[in-house]
Structure 1
Amino acid sequence: MSNSPSKSIGFILITHSKPLQIYRLINKLNSMFNYPLIVCHHDFSKCDLSVDRLSKNILLVSPHLQTKWADFSIVEATVQALKLMYEVPECPDWFVLLSCADYPIKTAKQILDDLTSNYYDAYIQHEKITYETYKHELRPNMLWLKNSYQRYCTKSFSFNSSKQYLANLDLKVCLEHPLLTKPFLPFSEKLACFSGSQWFCANNKAANYIIDFHSERNALTLHYSKLKYADESYFQTLLANAPHLKLQNDRRRYIDWSDGGCHPKTLLMEDLPNLLASSAHFARKFDIDIDSNILNELDRITS
């Protein structure tokens, strides 16, 4: 691989299942990037992972956190992995956040050249979440923006009556307008809410900012620690409000949501032309138990 020695790349893996797919992804990254620094947070409470099968460039977050889908534990696991990556003497210039369902669809040279030839500090999907969008956005494909406002920018209160004759009465009040939620949320004119895909890549400048910010006792981290789907807004909000960082609103990830539902389409051989036409560096999600042939073909193309 003919990359400039002054630039390096590392990988953060957040995993909890499918050990064989984890090993395959690690072997692929080792082959493509000549054994880069890989920090893995694996939830051993979900499934085992043989440490003996891991190469020496792999660091495991220990102790691991018990993670849950759409839970703040995913954010914590990511930050712990970043801390481990950026405390080593020769930490990488760039990191890419991956799960075992991801796989590269470009060559190592294409990926690293793309990241380092621009002036951006992070490639992350980040859309501003506003009350106006929440009330007036009508496009079906933008429903997630309305959902994001509901998740992160409203405040709900529940009241249960102690009176026997009102014992079955449960009252729930949801505040939506910014004037009403202001006392309860960290957002303001100077600190906007952003949302987007969990998966992103960034340089060491952005990584250290994430680590330092998260280590402080601040209202933003406290707010997200109580919410579901924090992984789709916390890092986006943190980075997009940092005036010293330059972001590209592009996650460099191919994801197909055409099936609808909470999870993207599992990619098959039939999807290969779309993957190759994409400007993305990685794609998700893959499943070797459903179709491993597409990974075999990607190995051939990206070698």
Structure 2
Amino acid sequence: MNPAIGFVLLTHNNPDQILFLCEQLTKLFDNAPIVIHHDFSQCQVNVGLFPKNVSFVEDWLTTQWGSWGIVGGKLKALRRLYADHNPDWFVVLSAADFPIKPAQSILDDLYNGGFDAYLYHRQIERCDLPIPHEKGFGNENFVHPAWERLAFERYVAIGFGFYKLATRMKWRTKAFYLRQRFLIEKLTPFHGSVKCYAGDFWLTGNRATAEALIADSELNRSLIAHFMRRPVPDEGFTHTVLGNVPSLKISPDNKRFTDWAGQFNHPRTLTEADIPHLLSSSSHFARKFQFNREMLLRLSEQLSQTQLELDRQSA
């Protein structure tokens, strides 16, 4: 029988936190398979300490913020997860994530939700709204109207950058872009029926979603070649692949709790004071947590107790 769920972890630091998360996922999800893509160039990890249901990608890639390695690492881990275990569902996590719903509640939502994937995504068209550089996109983040312009410049327009000079001279404009449709259709994959999609990186999907992502298709090859040359491909590649598969039903709710209020590049770090709010949300996982073993153990225990209560009610 195939596992109900498996996990892909993308990690590069904090080995104690990685191990702790794997131990808790193993406990809460009944030894579900976990495949880790870890960037060993940034931090060493003792793989012998991990539970037997955990494996590591051996031909790992170097990963940096905004680099293709993040996407390539996810694809490598996803291929291994499905070659070795073939779960019904998969969840992509970082070491700074943690479940905030009992395992059975998450599985019930996935099996009964009517969707193939849970991924915040939006179709990207030309947008000329000004980008709020100083304060970022705030709590709206990916749904901010002007975020579409950022995504259009990253993934669709034909850009010419002069970042080093602009940074040294303190210029706000660091590139200029050709936005003409005929150039885009000639120089990018976005012609005919192929559309660009982008959004938040974190994803939950079923087997059909995994197969679409790891397929060695002409479209996927062209999108890989395109996004490898583009900045921050992790917020566009997966969305574009899945958005161009008409048979997939994708929920824009990625089932992740994040707090972007007052933040610029990363969501706010969550603390113990947030836990009651997290547990009352409809999300499955929350991010980002600093490693606080005692706090996360208490959260894990609350999830176990909730699961016992649900089991008693259904008995």
Q: TM-score range by the shorter chain?
A: 0.7 to 0.9
Give the aligned partner of residue 95 of structure 2: 100
Question: Which of 226, 229, 233 is the equivalent residue of 1:230?
Answer: 233
Q: Give the residue type in structure 1 aligned to 2:91.
A: V
Give the aligned partner of residue 76 of structure 1: 72
- Secondary structure of 2:128's counterpart equals helix
Question: Which of 13, 29, 51 is the equivalent residue of 2:9?
Answer: 13
Identity %: 37
Deviation at 1:257, TM superposition (A): 0.8
Give the aligned partner of residue 296 of structure 1: 297
Deviation at 1:274, TM superposition (A): 2.5
TM-score, length of structure 1 as denominator length: 0.87
- Secondary structure of 1:299's counterpart equals helix
Cα 1:252–1:137, aligned 2, differ >3 Å: closer, same or farther?
Answer: farther
Check conservation: 1:101, 1:286, Cα contact below 8 A: yes
Check conservation: 2:154, 2:230, Cα contact below 8 A: yes
Q: Give the residue type in structure 2 aligned to 1:78.
A: K
- Secondary structure of 1:130's counterpart equals coil
Cα 1:158–1:104, aligned 2, differ >3 Å: closer, same or farther?
Answer: closer
Deviation at 1:45, TM superposition (A): 0.8
Q: Deviations over 1:218-262 (max 9, x none)?
A: 322111011121011100110011012111111110011113211
Q: Deviations over 1:85-137 (max 9, x none)?
A: 1112x421100000000000000011111001122111111111111xx1258
> Are 2:108 and 1:113 equivalent residues in the alignment?
yes
CA distance in 2, matches of 1:23, 1:6: 24
Question: Which of 33, 51, 57 is the equivalent residue of 1:55?
Answer: 51
Deviation at 1:273, TM superposition (A): 2.9
Give the aligned partner of residue 247 of structure 2: 244
Deviation at 1:157, TM superposition (A): 3.9
Q: Deviations over 1:62-99 (max 9, x none)?
A: 021111111111110000001111112x4211000000
Moved more, 59-68 or 149-158: 149-158
TM-score, length of structure 2 as denominator length: 0.84
CA distance in 2, matches of 1:192, 1:264: 28
Structure 2 unaligned blocks of 5 or more: 163-174, 305-315
- Secondary structure of 2:279's counterpart equals helix
Q: Give the residue type in structure 2 aligned to 1:56.
A: K
- Secondary structure of 2:182's counterpart equals helix
Question: Which of 184, 187, 197 is the equivalent residue of 1:194?
Answer: 197
Cα 1:40–1:138, aligned 2, differ >3 Å: closer, same or farther?
Answer: closer
Count of aligned residue pairs for this structure pair: 283
- Secondary structure of 2:215's counterpart equals helix
Structure 1 unaligned blocks of 5 or more: 160-171
Give the aligned partner of residue 164 of structure 1: none
Cα 1:136–1:302, aligned 2, differ >3 Å: closer, same or farther?
Answer: same
Query: Cα RMSD (Å) of the superposition?
Result: 2.3
Check conservation: 2:131, 2:149, Cα contact below 8 A: no
Check conservation: 1:269, 1:293, Cα contact below 8 A: no
The 5 A counterparts of 1:1-303 are: 8-88=4-84, 90-131=85-126, 134-136=127-129, 141=140, 142=144, 143-157=146-160, 174-213=177-216, 218-288=221-291, 291-303=292-304
Deviation at 1:292, TM superposition (A): 4.5
Cα 1:216–1:189, aligned 2, differ >3 Å: closer, same or farther?
Answer: closer
Moved more, 95-104 or 274-283: 274-283
